[in-house]
Structure 1
């Protein structure tokens, strides 16, 4: 099967075996590439999520947080782009309690962690 020049250039950028991948200016997608601008802080805090689309409330665990995003593990599977109101329950430090961290986020990804049971939701903070 003959490959057109357009398809050859396009396929080089997407990793297909034909074409010259070395001349492509587009870098291949790397799922482990750091996409957040801020440093991630590892967490282990309870989280409550309320969907602005359905009004349903779901619970999970905030596993990391940065100035521009967060990750929550939960049995809930949101839609890409779904807006969630998130409340993170911060544990006390000694005898000092902190008020919960409340934010509004946009879902950017949802990866299966445990087949059919647990998912990791990656979200961008859009309102603090």
Structure 2
């Protein structure tokens, strides 16, 4: 319950930008970053993560900004089945890689 309270204290910036999840075998899965905060982010994808799983994630900069993607390790904290083979999941950024 504490994590839920902390999550709500952070200002969340809606993005809706392309993102990618890199799996351990090096393959990548397309995703969409719905929002970003100082401590975490929310993704939508066909990928089904496990709670507690650590993912390597790349988030593209919004269209008007010419910058390299945000590259982080994300610990999955929650997941929601949206139906139609889509999942929304959020997590805590545990390491910024670039």
Unaligned residue ranges in structure 1 (runs of 5+): 1-28
Q: Which runs of 5+ in 2 are unaligned?
A: none
Partners of 1:119 and 1:91 in 2: CA distance: 22
Which of 21, 26, 30 is the aligned partner of 1:49?
21
Return the structure number with greater strand share. 2
In structure 1, what is the Cα distance between the partners aligned to 2:5 and 2:26? 31
Distance 1:43 1:98 in 2: 15
What is the distance in 2 between the residues matched to 1:60 and 1:49? Answer: 7
The normalised TM-score by structure 2 is 0.83
Greater C-alpha Rg: 1
In the alignment, is residue 98 of structure 1 matched against residue 67 of structure 2? yes
Give the aligned length.
Answer: 93
Q: Spell out, residue by residue over 1:20-56, the C-alpha distance to the aligned partner (whole angstroms, 9 max, x if none).
A: xxxxxxxxx7xxx65414210011110101234x654
Q: Is 1:111 paired with 2:83?
A: no
Q: Runs of at least 4 residues of structure 1 off by over 3 A?
A: none
Residues 1:123 and 2:91 aligned together: yes
After TM superposition, the score normalised by the length of structure 1 is 0.65
Alignment deviations for residues 35-93 of structure 1 (CA, whole Å, 9 cap, x no partner): 414210011110101234x6542111000100001000001101111111100011332
